[in-house]
Copies of this chain bind each other. A is one copy, B any other.
């Protein structure tokens, strides 16, 4: 009988292993894709692209017992050679090639010059050929950083007693924003795609006290802006036994601090490639919605058109105000008007025109909406009646409150937007792997 016992070592090395001093002068083996070839006559530099960076290999006419003309861009190879120090090469090392095994060959030359430092292609071209464009080292590093954000979110919350959940994306109709739902037929029954895990995470607070989910959400909104998508990844958490809605803001601040720490420690290469200065997260100012509108109106001589709504330009100016006043990258805007928040938002007992809720702005753009939720069954029913929301189809959600729920609240963070603001990109599609908008359903 034959057994699988674990991972085999095929002898090929990662870049961090190559940098171990012990390998200098020795024969080593690395695998990668031919990223670029620079022919200098008697020698040629063949740069390999790997998940962990670029490796310089060198072909020398009299040393390498094969013709470097056999090598072409975008081939994948297993390169063998002698490792040596070279200050001008990426990572300070290079491999003098003694043999090359070609693992695969492309059919045609690449349509984009991905080996350039900055990929010169329009956003449309990059998205049309997404899986090629992202072979550019700077382009792909955006998504490595995005990984770091999600990792930090989960690790931080695991450490604070949260349980990860996986809730269904297909559901019966929901009471939240009926117009913005994608509809489908589910075995001859009408169904929708969830626009948020809101009701599920609230239900799960009755079970695990603190829960989170990282998954796709779907919005059938007919936006066509630089910051909206019709499908995105939402980082959601919901926590019970809060004493105040500010507990939620504090948890988010804790996450951002953890995230910055993790990126700084484990994603230094990507931060460097994209020339990113990490944002300040130790002290995040907060201000009420009404006060923020006033401050911005006064400072920037801007008339308040609607006291119950925040225009994108006002958000941007609030960001600017707190950057100028406190060198702040983030600002919490609290106490949003009740009529702009969903029925389950808890109104402020001191002024029920406003809610115990908040948005978090990052460089003047909303990346989070959160707040305390109503946990009392009668109060929830009262607010639904006042808003003329049908309880039809929501019985299982309401039952959770009928049978007792702790005070709780939570938030949702748009992953692609947070990544966009961290990197300083000007379109959320830049930081979305395969964006979905009104015009884009492929690749």
B325 touches A402 (CB 8 A): no
Across-interface contacts of A165 in B (CB, < 8 A): 143, 147, 433
Given contacts A204-B131, A207-B134, contact A246 B4 (CB under 8 A): yes
A66 touches B (CB below 8 Å)? no
Q: Which of B250, B375, B397 contacts A6 (CB 8 A)?
A: B250
Chain B nearest CB: distance from A81 CB in Å? 17
A225 touches B (CB below 8 Å)? no
A125 touches B (CB below 8 Å)? no
B131 touches A143 (CB 8 A): no
A348 touches B (CB below 8 Å)? no
B218 touches A215 (CB 8 A): no
A231 touches B284 (CB 8 A): no
Given contacts A191-B441, A207-B135, contact A103 B183 (CB under 8 A): no
B106 touches A402 (CB 8 A): yes
Residue of B nearest to A166 (CB): B233
- Listed stretches A19-27, A251-259, A305-313; interface member: A251-259
Q: Which of B78, B146, B163, B284 contacts A51 (CB 8 A)?
A: B163
A42 touches B (CB below 8 Å)? no
Residue of B nearest to A217 (CB): B169
**Which of A76, A165, A218, A253 has the most chain B CB within a 10 Å cutoff?**
A76
B164 touches A104 (CB 8 A): no
Across-interface contacts of A399 in B (CB, < 8 A): 129, 131-132
Chain B nearest CB: distance from A443 CB in Å? 4
Residue of B nearest to A2 (CB): B286
B283 touches A406 (CB 8 A): no
Q: Which of B5, B33, B186, B218 contacts A170 (CB 8 A)?
A: B218
A37 touches B (CB below 8 Å)? no
Residue of B nearest to A134 (CB): B207
B104 touches A376 (CB 8 A): yes
B403 touches A3 (CB 8 A): no
Q: Which of B164, B250, B283 contacts A8 (CB 8 A)?
A: B250
- Listed stretches A107-115, A336-344, A361-369, A382-390; interface member: A107-115
A282 touches B (CB below 8 Å)? yes
A111 touches B74 (CB 8 A): no
Across-interface contacts of A218 in B (CB, < 8 A): 169-170
Across-interface contacts of A433 in B (CB, < 8 A): 165-168, 200, 204
A442 touches B (CB below 8 Å)? yes
A90 touches B (CB below 8 Å)? no
A28 touches B (CB below 8 Å)? no
Residues of A191-218 whose CB lies within 8 A of B: 191, 193, 200, 203-204, 206-210, 215-216, 218
Main secondary structure of the interface of A (DSSP, over half): mixed
Residue of B nearest to A250 (CB): B7
- Size category of the binding interface on chain A: 35 or more
Residue of B nearest to A332 (CB): B4
Residue of B nearest to A381 (CB): B107
Across-interface contacts of A4 in B (CB, < 8 A): 246, 249-250, 253, 283-286, 332
B375 touches A231 (CB 8 A): no
B182 touches A170 (CB 8 A): yes
Chain B nearest CB: distance from A317 CB in Å? 16
**Which of A185, A397, A402 has the most chain B CB within a 10 Å cutoff?**
A402
B103 touches A241 (CB 8 A): yes
A50 touches B (CB below 8 Å)? yes
Give the interface of A toward B (CB within 8 A). Answer: 1-8, 10, 12, 14, 31, 33, 50-52, 74-76, 78, 103-108, 110-111, 128-132, 134-135, 140, 143-144, 146-147, 150-151, 154, 158, 160-161, 163-172, 182-187, 189, 191, 193, 200, 203-204, 206-210, 215-216, 218, 220, 222, 230-231, 233, 240-241, 243, 246-247, 249-251, 253-254, 257, 282-287, 325-326, 332, 375-378, 393, 396-397, 399-407, 415, 433-436, 438, 441-443
**Would you mind naming 22 contact pairs between A and B with Cβ atoms under 8 Å apart?**
A2-B285, A5-B253, A5-B282, A5-B283, A7-B253, A7-B254, A14-B161, A104-B376, A107-B402, A111-B403, A150-B166, A151-B154, A154-B154, A166-B233, A167-B433, A167-B434, A168-B216, A168-B435, A186-B230, A191-B441, A200-B434, A396-B443
